[in-house]
Structure 1
Amino acid sequence: MVTYIIAEPCVDVLDKACVEECPVDCIYEGDRMLYIQPDECVDCGACEPVCPVEAIFYEDDVPDEWEPYVSANADFFDDLGSPGGASKVGKTEADPAFIKGLPPMNEEE
């Protein structure tokens, strides 16, 4: 299944405009970034144009340098599974080790 992926520009930004646009509540919040639950996503694309940092990509279109975010997005849901709605879960500390280990990023100068 191909889905949308949130990549590096979201790390430490967590704008959440995408969350407000998502009609199926499939965008979950970790400590440092947001993640799209692939089984809950209906591929409507509503999230992509509203992201102020252009962090959301169709999985096949993720730039090569951000390829690790495809795995990180999947890894985020390893333990969480498919809860059936991000609003039920709230913010979690389930960021994958790859994301937790990143230096502080995308901070305003």
Structure 2
Amino acid sequence: MSNVILTESAAQRVQALIAMEGKPNMMLRVAVSGGGCSGFQYNIELDDKTGEDDVVTEHHGVKLVVDQTSLDLLDGTEVDFVEDLMGASFQFRNPQATSTCGCGSSFSM
């Protein structure tokens, strides 16, 4: 069971991106990899395939895919889509992160 949450705002943005791609079977893949300015970085992409170690959940009509290794690092994370004066972006609220970088795309534990 995935404990990664996709907000309604993020789901609406993903649905719009999937519609632009013209591939209704696409899913949102969220992963963590080593790197970034804080040690780990978030990766987000549209994908139409799942692997053996992937966990798939559905949030507000969008399928969210997270591999088992990333799931441990993302437990309790909320993925949101925010539009403000600085622009529009996906943002991650990870309760396990002990620090994040200024850009919000990497973190440390």
Q: TM-score, normalised by structure 1?
A: 0.29
Which protein has the bigger strand share?
2
Bigger fraction of residues in helix:
1
By relative contact order (CA 8 Å, sep 6+), the higher-ranking structure is 1
